[in-house]
A and B are shown apart, each in its own frame.
Chain A
Amino acid sequence: MSDVKVDKPAAVPADKKNWRSSGGVRGWFGRQHWAVRTVLIIVFAVLAYLLPYAGDIPVLGPQIITEGIDWPSALFNMSYYVLLALGLNVVVGFAGLLDLGYVGFFAVGAYTVALLTSPDSILKTEWGWLAAVPVALAVAMVSGLILGWPTLRLRGDYLAIVTLGFAEIIRIFATSSETLRGDRGFADIPHPPGSYSDGKPIFGVADATPYYWLGLSVIILVILGVRNLDRSRVGRSWLAIREDEEAAEIMGVRTIKYKLWAFAIGAFIGGLGGVMFAGQQGFMNSQTFILQFSILVLAGVVMGGSGNIFGAILGGALISYIPDRLRGIEDPIFHTDLFGFRFAIFGAIIILIMIFRPQGLIPSRRRAMELKDREKEVAPQ
């Protein structure tokens, strides 16, 4: 994604090695004057806001946009997948906790909104969407703490299985309990508020573009927040925990506290994704939160580059974009919509990435080095 900006060095092969060793795009970006950096970031953000009109680009446009689903909706889907990937990246990438039940927090956020707003809910509160958002986010965060508190003392691989178990319990609960209405789900969840001067609502049913813009704005805020955390005592503590938990604790890092924070922040961002999802769809049921969904987001984080914010964004966008782009195209053998292959495709991508490029597409500087060094340590046999 960011490699696109690099046009010169590709033309001069002799520069290639120098380019790599001086830190590639990121190194180049870091060396620029702050004003240049700011301008570049703003240009990039503006381009992102203009994405709904990508179809109007001559020649290239029609290749980019999706066919089986309208382009703004595809963009909105990307935005909540990116949110989920950003959140999971905090848990897996920064703190090194493999959470396989991440979609559970997405579900908690979405269900809280549904319960508070939908006329189908037993609460009968029928709040507006905006009023339900803070409650939903708080509930998601608390659920992160509730999951984290008993489980964070577990070994890494056991933690993974327990989080998976928790997500399945949430799903079974959503399917089986009367309160959460199983397959019947919740209808008429209100959209976000606001209307144009002529009285038409901004967030309507026909056009998903405003939802995408809302999602993008939320993403930008989340990026700023996550980046602030990463470059602070909090990020250092997470990294220390990931690298050597016991040594970290002996150096005074409150490991349980920071692991809980990672869980809570991840849950918060996941809940944010759920809140956005519920507000756009207007309807949701227990079928929305299958386990494969969690794994898909994990695939996105791993593919993009675990521990790297921009890697997570790229990965999150791809896990949504690729299936949506394939939607409406039929495969020649089984005559299924290619969209149905999405989990199989990403299953294969996970394996390929882990084997051939374990640091991901946009690796975190540290991860890449760590993996390289481990490679050197292999005992000759």
Chain B
Amino acid sequence: MNFSGLIQDFGPLTITGLAQGAIIALFALGYTLVYGVLRLINFAHSEVFLLGSYACLIVWGFFGLDQNSATPNVFSVIGLLLLGLMAAIVISGLTALGVELVAYRPLRRRNAPPLAFLITAIGASLFISETVGVITKRNIKAVPPLIRPADVFVIGNMHVTNLQILIIVLALVMMFVLDRFINRSRLGRGIRAVAQNPDSAALMGVNKSRVIALVFLLGGLMAGIAAVMYDLKIGVTRFDAGFLLGIEAFTAAVLGGIGNLRGALLGGLLLGVLQNYAASLFGTQWLHAASFVLLVLILLVRPTGLLGESLGRARA
């Protein structure tokens, strides 16, 4: 174990961890939203993310960009970013909706037992990621260098880059918007109503199916944004990119308290940072194992997470 390394690099580890954690947090929202309303671990959410990460690359490919292109000028970058985000959001949102319609809704109609949903979700996840794997011949796809990381400010040995700031700020803004939407809007009220008591919500005239579809859509949108950020930060994607990050996002959701939106943010940031510390302590090959160990520990010690499980704030 390398304690001196951890102490020496504490600043840089923290800021890169926060950026990674912001992506995880956005990704985790999908798990938390669906769980909050349906009590279902949407295992296929990782593939919602995966397709988003490819969608923006395909759009950028239309403009002739590949990993060897030079970084375009500022206005093109903003335009391309927005287009990429749009594409990822649309594809991720549609994928999430598609999974709900094809894989879950028929089961819900039949009142299938809870584990049946999880099994179908696993099937959907395997199907999507492996189809992408076959199409891409399981190769890595590189991302064009839209944003060249440059230091914005430096504190000690902590270099904070433009990309890190973009990711963290975007994640916080999206969180804020989503939180507002759920807690203030009429549609958001419907979501909270179904989360608290599906049957009486249905009796009060809330269209349950539409609320559920909306929840999947929202989770998909957030995953799309997370996917674009991931592409820019990591620089490559692959057919199994969704799976590992998906487990981390799920861990984050559980860590914060699954079903709790603010918990997802807290859990994501915390997990990103903790992973980095663990990687520094034990070596980078243990980075992913660290999140699994953390997940197991939380579930055993405090399965309701740090902030408790509640989308509607009414559940104890």
Seen from chain A, the residues whose Cβ lies within 8 Å of a Cβ on chain B are 96, 98, 100, 150-151, 153-158, 160-162, 164-166, 168-169, 172-173, 175-176, 291-292, 295, 298-299, 302, 334, 336, 340-341, 343-344, 346-351, 354-355, 358, 370-371, 374-375, 377-379, 381
Task: Give, as a whole number of angstroms, the nearest-CB distance from B255 to chain A.
Answer: 13
User: B102, B119, B120 — which one has the most chain A CB atoms within 10 A of its CB?
Assistant: B119
Give the residue name and chain of the A residue nearest to B35 (CB).
A157
Q: Which of B109, B126, B202, B247 contacts A168, CB < 8 Å?
A: B247
Q: Which of A154, A298, A358 contacts B299, CB < 8 Å?
A: A154
A378 near B109 (CB under 8 angstroms)? yes
A344 near B289 (CB under 8 angstroms)? no
Rank and list the top 6 A-B pairs by shortest CB-CB distance, nearest first.
A350-B123, A347-B127, A347-B126, A344-B130, A165-B292, A176-B285
Q: Which residues of B contact A348 (CB under 8 A)?
A: 123, 127
A157 near B289 (CB under 8 angstroms)? no
A161 near B295 (CB under 8 angstroms)? yes
Q: How many angstroms between the C-alpha atoms of A301 and B114 in the bound complex?
A: 17
Give the residue name and chain of the B residue nearest to A176 (CB).
B285
Interface residues of B in 268-297 (CB under 8 A from A): 283, 285-286, 288-289, 292-293, 295-296
Q: A176-B286, A374-B112 are in contact. Are A341 and B130 (CB under 8 A)?
A: yes
Q: How many angstroms between the C-alpha atoms of A285 and B14 in the bound complex?
A: 35
A347 near B130 (CB under 8 angstroms)? yes
Q: How many angstroms between the C-alpha atoms of A347 and B129 in the bound complex?
A: 9
A151 near B295 (CB under 8 angstroms)? no
Q: Which residues of A contact B40 (CB under 8 A)?
A: 157
B106 near A355 (CB under 8 angstroms)? yes
Q: Which residues of A contact B81 (CB under 8 A)?
A: none
A347 near B111 (CB under 8 angstroms)? no
Besides A160-B41, A354-B123, 13 other A-B contacts (C-beta < 8 A): A150-B296, A157-B115, A161-B250, A161-B295, A172-B288, A295-B122, A299-B126, A340-B134, A341-B130, A343-B126, A351-B102, A351-B127, A358-B116
Say yes or no: is B54 at the interface (Cβ < 8 Å to chain A): no
Say yes or no: is B300 at the interface (Cβ < 8 Å to chain A): yes
Q: Which residues of A contact B134 (CB under 8 A)?
A: 334, 336, 340-341, 344
Q: How many angstroms between the C-alpha atoms of A122 and B289 in the bound complex?
A: 24
A355 near B296 (CB under 8 angstroms)? no
Q: How many angstroms between the C-alpha atoms of A291 and B129 in the bound complex?
A: 13
Q: How many angstroms between the C-alpha atoms of A100 and B243 in the bound complex?
A: 14
A299 near B127 (CB under 8 angstroms)? no
A354 near B41 (CB under 8 angstroms)? no
A165 near B247 (CB under 8 angstroms)? yes
B285 near A172 (CB under 8 angstroms)? yes
A375 near B111 (CB under 8 angstroms)? yes
B122 near A343 (CB under 8 angstroms)? no
B118 near A374 (CB under 8 angstroms)? no
Say yes or no: is B303 at the interface (Cβ < 8 Å to chain A): yes
Task: Give, as a whole number of angstroms, the nearest-CB distance from B123 to chain A.
Answer: 3
Task: Flag B108-152 by CB within 8 Å of A: 1 or 0 each.
Answer: 011111111011101111111011011101000000000000000
Task: Give, as a whole number of angstroms, the nearest-CB distance from A158 to chain B.
Answer: 5
Task: Give, as a whole number of angstroms, the nearest-CB distance from A162 to chain B.
Answer: 5
Of the four ranges (under 10, 10 to 19, 20 to 34, 35 or more), the interface on chain B belongs to 35 or more
Say yes or no: is B178 at the interface (Cβ < 8 Å to chain A): no
Say yes or no: is B103 at the interface (Cβ < 8 Å to chain A): yes
Give the residue name and chain of the A residue nearest to B115 (CB).
A98
Q: How many angstroms between the C-alpha atoms of A100 and B137 in the bound complex?
A: 26
B114 near A347 (CB under 8 angstroms)? no
Q: How many angstroms between the C-alpha atoms of A292 and B239 in the bound complex?
A: 13
Q: A150-B300, A164-B247, A347-B126 are in contact. Are A156 and B103 (CB under 8 A)?
A: no
Give the residue name and chain of the A residue nearest to B135 (CB).
A334
Say yes or no: is B208 at the interface (Cβ < 8 Å to chain A): yes
B103 near A154 (CB under 8 angstroms)? no
Q: Which residues of A contact B111 (CB under 8 A)?
A: 374-375, 377-378
Say yes or no: is B94 at the interface (Cβ < 8 Å to chain A): no
Say yes or no: is B168 at the interface (Cβ < 8 Å to chain A): no
Task: Give, as a whole number of angstroms, the nearest-CB distance from A21 to chain B.
Answer: 23
Q: How many angstroms between the C-alpha atoms of A378 and B108 in the bound complex?
A: 9
Q: How many angstroms between the C-alpha atoms of A370 and B110 in the bound complex?
A: 12
Q: Which residues of B contact A350 (CB under 8 A)?
A: 119-120, 122-123, 126-127
Task: Give, as a whole number of angstroms, the nearest-CB distance from B45 to chain A.
Answer: 13
Say yes or no: is B187 at the interface (Cβ < 8 Å to chain A): no
B41 near A161 (CB under 8 angstroms)? yes
Say yes or no: is B163 at the interface (Cβ < 8 Å to chain A): no
Say yes or no: is B107 at the interface (Cβ < 8 Å to chain A): yes
Interface residues of B in 23-50 (CB under 8 A from A): 40-41
A354 near B112 (CB under 8 angstroms)? yes
Q: How many angstroms between the C-alpha atoms of A292 and B123 in the bound complex?
A: 10
Give the residue name and chain of the A residue nearest to B293 (CB).
A169
A378 near B110 (CB under 8 angstroms)? yes
Give the residue name and chain of the B residue nearest to A344 (CB).
B130
A173 near B247 (CB under 8 angstroms)? no
B208 near A381 (CB under 8 angstroms)? yes
Q: How many angstroms between the C-alpha atoms of A350 and B292 in the bound complex?
A: 26
B113 near A165 (CB under 8 angstroms)? no
Q: Which residues of B contact A151 (CB under 8 A)?
A: 296, 299-300
